[in-house]
A and B are shown apart, each in its own frame.
Chain A
Amino acid sequence: MSDRNVAIVGYAGLPVVGAGADPALMVQAVVSRLFEESSLPRDRIGFVCSGSRDYDFGQPFSFISALDGVGAWPPVAESHVEMDGAWALYEAWVKLLTGDIDAALVYAFGCSSRGDLDAVETLQLDPYTLSPLGIRPAGLAALQARALIDAGRYTEADFARVAARGTDLTAEALLEADYVASPLRAHDRAPRTDGAVAVLLAAGDLAREVCERPAWIRGIDHRIEVHAPGFRDLTVAPSIAEAGRRARGNLPQPDLAEIQAPWSHQAFLIRDALALEDGTAINPSGRVLARDIPMAAGLSRIGEAAARLTRGDADTAMAHATMGPCLQQNLVAYLQAGES
């Protein structure tokens, strides 16, 4: 592997955007803010990579109009993943390791206001065997939550405590609510919003030059599991465990972890798979279920973790991103501030 060190040197997120969000406008706003707050000159960016999902915008190339928001002129070296932006960051990290470039811009944008995201995510299931059954995301998540309860690992009250954290509600009060899909209630799901986030990556000396405390990527890995829920043991998350092991290597228990749990019960699965101990603060950026921007939530976890290291709140962090039903595909990064 390349001996190049790559760091996150900037992060910007858009506040929750109202309905009808336009890709170009969201991306322009967040990328502009990112460069305003960074001393990294735009012309040092050697690669641009983004993540989004066409169906969220109801159009076949949502990233084309987003690129208009970046101002890609003169032409830029650029690529896009139809995935969460966390995987766009991975692609940019790889590109930086090749030595071809010294800095990269990564962004992700998503939209929940233009259509029925549950219908969209039903269409991500196997089109021959699963999607025609019409099983909604809540139904699959509930299967996983039920499996955890049946295994005696966690209870509905545990899930409610995750949901109550950072709110003025008690877990007991939340448990009064009706089920959306038993054993899950509406509060067990992160609310979905429109939004965009952007991250700056730089290698070696350039990272040190433009950032006092770069968040060095000490390890990053991603893994996918088989798709069919019936083939998986839903009470464990082997792809998170494997990615976590590879990202962390022999590095110490992190000071903090930013995880992407679309559903409350998944916070436990992720924490367990990453072998996080009580000393690690989980999602200090806010509640685990604070918000879920489609295809940008994972990149925002990485960005929030990096921002805390850069600010000096902590020295080490793990960040996690997920895609697909029941945590099918996952990415884990280990970040460390200070000299590298």
Chain B
Amino acid sequence: MANRCAVIGVGQTRHDSERTDLSMPGLVREAALRALEDAGLTWSDIDAVVMGKAPDMFEGVVNPGLFLAGALGATGLPFLRVHTAGSVGGSTGVVASQLIRAGVHRRVLAVAWEKQSESNAMWALSQRYPFQPPVSAGAGGYFAPLVRAYIRRSGAPEHVGWMVAVKDRLNGLKNPYAHLKIPDISLEKVRKSPMLWEPIRYLETCPSSDGACAIILGAEDTVDAAPNPAAWVHATAMRSEPLIFAGRDQVNPQAGQDCAAALYKKAGVTDPRRQIDAAELYVPFSWFEPMWLENLGLAERGEGWKLVDSGATALDGELPVNPSGGVMCSNPIGASGLLRFAEAALQVRGMAGEHQVDGAKLAMGHAYGGGSQFFAAWLVGSEKP
């Protein structure tokens, strides 16, 4: 029987398109220091550091953990660098939690970050390789056909994507760390924004952000000493599938379905839509909200868009999705997954501030990456599992 594990500290940077006020060490340290403060700890209390980020080409530094280890207080400690594409922030949280569950460590600092302004992610994503399909249009060009396929399958009306964009931007206004702040956001404004990759309009996309997120995971015996409430890790799951083969459904990937099913089973959740009080899902383009709702079993097949259309995923809805504003408001790619995990933890700790979901007791964090093929998720709760 594995040990219990809880989130006892959360920190994140203010996310912005260019944090020119901070170096890379400064960026990760801003998040880590806030997490330590939240947990009432100092650097010497940390047993190990797990760092995640997306491809090193996004900053142009190879294995940046090597030079960041000092800034993260890891000198003399075990240090792991996780890289699982866009899902990496989630994977970082999962790997760190396993170090606690296995009883290897008592307190682990997990940090995930991206400083997109150092380089050009679109360039990094658009390299061409022999025998592989080009992704010349970056992430939007890759994912737009999947969105079109979803719309064709489900018959969803086009305003559903706009609704998600408006809802997430309104939520982001309540989040002091969010990058995009668009106070006059409206369906009309989204509808009139330029078409980037049909059917994805400019205001239906995530920004490119500099930012970092840190969490401190502790064993059960560290929780009582923590000054703030803990978020208990009820379950974690990761699933991956290959990028290319004929039988793959990229719109509703099997790996995502399996990841969610494994997660709910481990946590004893039988009716996720009703039992989960808030969900932070990795939604880089508006339409991925209804797509993931179905993929993760939070809505029936073909019904995800109806849940959005009914307002159920709004902050005051039956299943609030991305109360923080989500990836649509801040996208420091490598950190985006850990931000979902961290925001889920803040909800069940009752520490989400203006975007707090009333009485949230069980919350889900989710991340995906690659060509919709890597998935990481966790369920955290206010009660001990």
Contact = CB atoms under 8 A, between A and B. Distances in A.
Contacts of B130: 22
Contacts of B70: 226-228
Contacts of B241: 72-76
B183 interface: no
Interface in B26-67: 54-67
Interface string A123-153: 1111110110000000000000000000000
Interface string B245-284: 1000000011100110010000000000000000000000
A323 B61 contact: no
Contacts of A225: 69, 75-76
Contacts of A238: 76
A68 B244 contact: yes
Given A60-B55, A82-B81, A97-B103, A77 B238 contact: yes
B254 to A, nearest CB: 5
A172 B371 CA distance: 55
A54 interface: yes
Nearest to B238: A77
Please classify how large the interface on chain A is, using the bins under 10, 10 to 19, 20 to 34, 35 or more.
35 or more
Contact of B62 (A70, A98, A124, A223): A124
A226 B245 CA distance: 44
Contact of A79 (B1, B67, B74, B238): B238
A242 B77 CA distance: 9
Contacts of B385: none
B78 A328 contact: no
Please classify how large the interface on chain B is, using the bins under 10, 10 to 19, 20 to 34, 35 or more.
35 or more
A73 B242 contact: yes
A242 B79 CA distance: 14
Contacts of A76: 239-241
Interface in A285-332: 323-325, 328-329
B102 A81 contact: no
Contacts, number: 189
Given A61-B85, A324-B66, A67 B2 contact: no
Contact of A81 (B80, B239, B370): B80
B222 to A, nearest CB: 16
Contact of A239 (B76, B81, B103): B76
Contacts of A221: 78
Interface string B104-131: 1000000000000000000011010111
Contact of A82 (B63, B95, B237, B373): B63
A100 interface: yes
B84 interface: yes
A68 B242 contact: yes
A140 to B, nearest CB: 12
Given A61-B55, A121-B62, A127-B67, A223 B240 contact: no
A78 B23 contact: no
A126 B67 CA distance: 5
A79 B57 CA distance: 19
Given A1-B104, A82-B63, 19 more contacts: A54-B83, A64-B85, A65-B132, A68-B242, A68-B243, A73-B245, A74-B241, A77-B240, A78-B240, A79-B95, A81-B81, A91-B98, A97-B103, A100-B2, A221-B78, A223-B79, A228-B70, A324-B63, A329-B79
Q: List the 5 closest pairs (A to B, CB-CB), nearest first.
A: A60-B55, A97-B102, A75-B255, A82-B83, A78-B240
11 contacts: A53-B62, A54-B56, A60-B57, A70-B242, A98-B98, A99-B1, A124-B67, A223-B77, A224-B66, A224-B69, A224-B78
